[in-house]
Amino acid sequence: QVHLVESGGGVVQPGGSLRLSCAISGFTLDDFAMHWVRQAPGKGLEWLAVLSHDGVTTFHADSVKGRFAISRDTSENSLFLQATALGYEDTAVYFCARDYSGNGAFDIWGQGTMVTVSS
């Protein structure tokens, strides 16, 4: 069965870092592009980053460019988001999602992991 399970969230101080993980089962990373999306409390969805199916190409939203980095480990069949220089505005639920069509159609989502930036 196809599943995505995020982990690595928690409470972090401003300026701190976290590494979010997305464990993948039921398919392999080589076959699909993968994305990270977040949702601040009470707010809408915000796209963060994409990693191409071949692991070569990445794009990041301007709001996180230079601070966040998407990556993967095919041996673990896992996706990652390294988040650094965290600010209060980064408080959100972070979702990983599979790109079904290569056109940004996210057909499989994880349940999300909560990141809270607080002093």
Partner 1 sequence: QSVLTQPPSASGTPGQRVTISCSGSHSNVGSNAVNWYQQLPGTAPRLLSFANNQRPSGVPDRFSGSKSGTSASLAISGLQSEDEGDYYCAVWDDRLNHQVFGEGTKLTVL
Q: Does 47 bind partner 1 (CB under 8 A)?
A: yes
**Cα distance between residue 106 and residue 64, in whole Å:** 20
Q: Is 26 in the site for partner 1 (CB under 8 A)?
A: no
DSSP bridge partners of 73: 78
Burial class of residue 36 in the structure, from the number of CB atoms within 10 Å of its CB (0-12 exposed, 13-18 middle, 19+ buried): buried
| DSSP of 55-102 | S--EEE-TTTBTTEEEEEETTTTEEEEEE-S--GGG-EEEEEEEESSS
Longest dimension (CA), the chain: 41
Among 18-26, 40-48, 74-82, 84-92, the segment contacting partner 1 (CB under 8 A): 40-48
Site membership for partner 1, residue 5 (CB under 8 A): no
Q: Is 62 exposed, middle or buried (0-12, 13-18, 19+ CB in 10 A)?
A: exposed
Site mask for partner 1 (CB under 8 A), range 56-95, x = bound = ---xxxx--------------------------------x
Nearer to partner 1, 27 or 109 (CB): 109
Q: Measured from the CB of residue 61, what is the shortest distance to partner 1 in angstroms?
A: 5
| Nearer CB in complex with partner 1: 16/23 | 23
Q: Which of 22, 24, 32, 35 binds partner 1 (CB under 8 A)?
A: 35
- Chain residues binding partner 1 by CB under 8 A are 35, 37, 44-47, 50, 59-62, 95, 97, 100-101, 103-107, 109-112
